[in-house]
Structure 1
Amino acid sequence: MMLEFDNYIKQYRTWPTIGRTIMAQYNENEIVVYQAYNEKIARFAAKNGHFGGDFSFERMTWIKTNFLWMMYRSGWGSKSNQEVTLAISIRRDAFEYMYHNAVSSSFSSANEADLSIWKQKVRESDIRLQWDPDHDPFGSNLKRRAVQIGIRGSTLRKFNSDWITNIEDVSNFVEQQKRNIDNNNISSLILPKERPYVFKFDEKVELLQL
C-alpha cells in the first residue's frame, strides 16, 4: 500500500476531536500501522519485508495506526532505539482479528465482571488493546483517544510471516516534517492521510482461519 499525504491543518479540520477513534490510512484490503526501532532492526525489516535479525520475538511489540501518536512516542524519531519509523501495511482482516480478540491492558468493571477472570485472560492472550490520549503535533494531549495493539507469541509470528504486505522506512519524511515542528511552521506540516477507521467485518463473525 503506497502512503498518501496531505496538509495537517486541512486534515485536522475533518477529524473528530473527542472519543475513542481509530485514526488510520487504509484501503479496501490494507491498513497502515507504525512502529519505530533502532537502525539495525528497522533496516533489516524495510529491506526484507519482515522482521528478523536483532528483532526479538520473545517480547510484546506494539503497533499504532495513528501517525501523530507514533511521533509523540518516538519524539519525532529523536528517542533512543526509535530513530527509524516504519510504515507497515498489513491485511485489514488481520487487523480486525487482532482488535476483536484483544484483551484490554487495564481492568474495567464495565467490560469485565470479575478481576480474576480479566487477569487470567491477560495471562493467556497474545493480544492487548490500549486506548491512550491522542496528541497534537507538538505532543500535547487531546480529548480524542488513540488505539495501540500489543502482540506477542504465535500472533506476533503470524503477523510477521503472513499479515505484513509491505514495510516502508519513512524516517527521512519524519525528519523533514520535524523541521516544521521545530520551526513552529504548522501551516507547512504534511502528514500521512488519515480518517476514522470503519470496520469491514462484523466482530461476531470468524474473520480468519489462523
Structure 2
Amino acid sequence: MEEPHRRIRAVHSESTITVYQAYAPEIGLPAVRDGRFPAPWKRDRMTWIKPSFLWMMYRCGWGTKAGQETVLAVEITRDGFEWALRQACLSSYMRGVHRDRATWQRQLKRAPTRVQWDPERDLRLRPLPYRSLQLGLSGEAVRRYADEWTVSISDVTPLAHEIHALVSAGDLDSAARLLPQERPCSLGDELLAGLQG
C-alpha cells in the first residue's frame, strides 16, 4: 500500500503519543531523572517535537550534534497533542490553503503551535517521498507541554547509538528491528484539515 504524502506516524496508545527531542546533557539528563523539564529549560522560546524517531535522528545526527547529545522520548497525552493540532497554523504560507499571505501571517501570530511537514527519513537518513509532522510549541502550548501533557521522559540515546552502529556496519535488518514501532495515528480528518500544506 502506498504511503500517503502527509501522515502522522508515531508510537502511540489510546491515551498517549510519543514525541522526540534532543538536548544537551545538562537539560536532558535531569529531565529523564525527574520526569519533567528542569529550570534551565527555556519556556519562553519555541520548542519542536517530532513523532518520527528517524526524523529526530536526522536532526540530531544520531545524538552526536553539539547541544543535542541526549535524545529524549517524551510520552505526552493524546488530548494534549490533539489540543496542539487544533490550535496550530502551518509554519509557512501555502497558496490554496490560506486565503492570502496576510491572513496566514495573522493566524501565525495568534497560534501557539505550528505545523511543519518534513521529508521522512530512511535508516541512512536519506529523504523519503512522503512527509512527517514536526510540531512547534510556543507560549501557552510550551507551558501545557511541560506542566500538563508530559506523562514520562525516557533517554533513548543508547538506542540511537546502537541503531547507528548497526547502520554503519551495514546491518540494516538488525537496525530496523530495533526501531520504535511507529504506526499511523488517526486523529480525525478535521484535526488536520487546513494543516496539510
Q: Same fold by TM (over 0.5)?
A: yes
Match of 1:138 in 2: 124
Is residue 75 of structure 1 aligned with residue 61 of structure 2?
A: yes
Indicate which of 20, 28, 32 corresponds to 1:42. Answer: 28
Cα–Cα, structure 1 residues 107 and 200, in superposed 2: closer, same or farther, change >3 Å? closer
Q: Give, in angstroms, the shift of residue 176 of structure 1.
A: 1.1
Is residue 179 of structure 1 aligned with residue 165 of structure 2?
A: yes
Is residue 151 of structure 1 aligned with residue 137 of structure 2?
A: yes
- The count of aligned residue pairs is 190
Q: Give, in angstroms, the shift of residue 18 of structure 1.
A: 4.4
Indicate which of 29, 33, 39 corresponds to 1:53. Answer: 39
TM-score (norm. length: structure 1): 0.86
Match of 2:48 in 1: 62
Match of 1:102 in 2: 88
| Identical counterparts, % of pairs | 35
Q: Give, in angstroms, the shift of residue 202 of structure 1.
A: 5.8
Q: Is the contact made by 1:93 and 1:201 (CA closer than 8 Å) also made in structure 2?
A: no
Q: Which amino acid aligns with 1:157?
A: R
User: Secondary structure at the residue paired with 2:71?
Assistant: strand
Q: Which amino acid aligns with 1:121?
A: Q
Q: Is the contact made by 1:83 and 1:171 (CA closer than 8 Å) also made in structure 2?
A: yes
Match of 1:193 in 2: 181
Match of 1:86 in 2: 72
Structure 1 segments unaligned to the other structure (5+ residues): 1-13, 205-210
Cα–Cα, structure 1 residues 201 and 164, in superposed 2: closer, same or farther, change >3 Å? farther
TM-score (norm. length: structure 2): 0.91
User: Secondary structure at the residue paired with 1:19?
Assistant: coil
Distance 1:90 1:81 in 2: 23
Structure 1 segments of 4+ aligned residues over 3 angstroms from their partners: 200-204
Distance 1:57 1:63 in 2: 14
Distance 2:41 2:156 in 1: 19
Per-residue displacement from partner, 1:72-101 (whole Å, max 9, x unpaired)? 111111111111110000001111111122
Q: Is the contact made by 1:32 and 1:87 (CA closer than 8 Å) also made in structure 2?
A: yes
Structure 2 segments unaligned to the other structure (5+ residues): 193-197
Per-residue displacement from partner, 1:34-68 (whole Å, max 9, x unpaired)? 00101010011111111123211111000000111
User: Secondary structure at the residue paired with 1:134?
Assistant: strand
Query: What RMSD in Å do the two structures reach over aligned CA positions?
Result: 1.7
Indicate which of 109, 124, 130 corresponds to 2:110. Answer: 124
Q: Is the contact made by 2:85 and 2:191 (CA closer than 8 Å) also made in structure 1?
A: no
Match of 1:7 in 2: none
Distance 1:158 1:18 in 2: 30
Match of 1:21 in 2: 7
Q: Is the contact made by 2:18 and 2:51 (CA closer than 8 Å) also made in structure 1?
A: yes
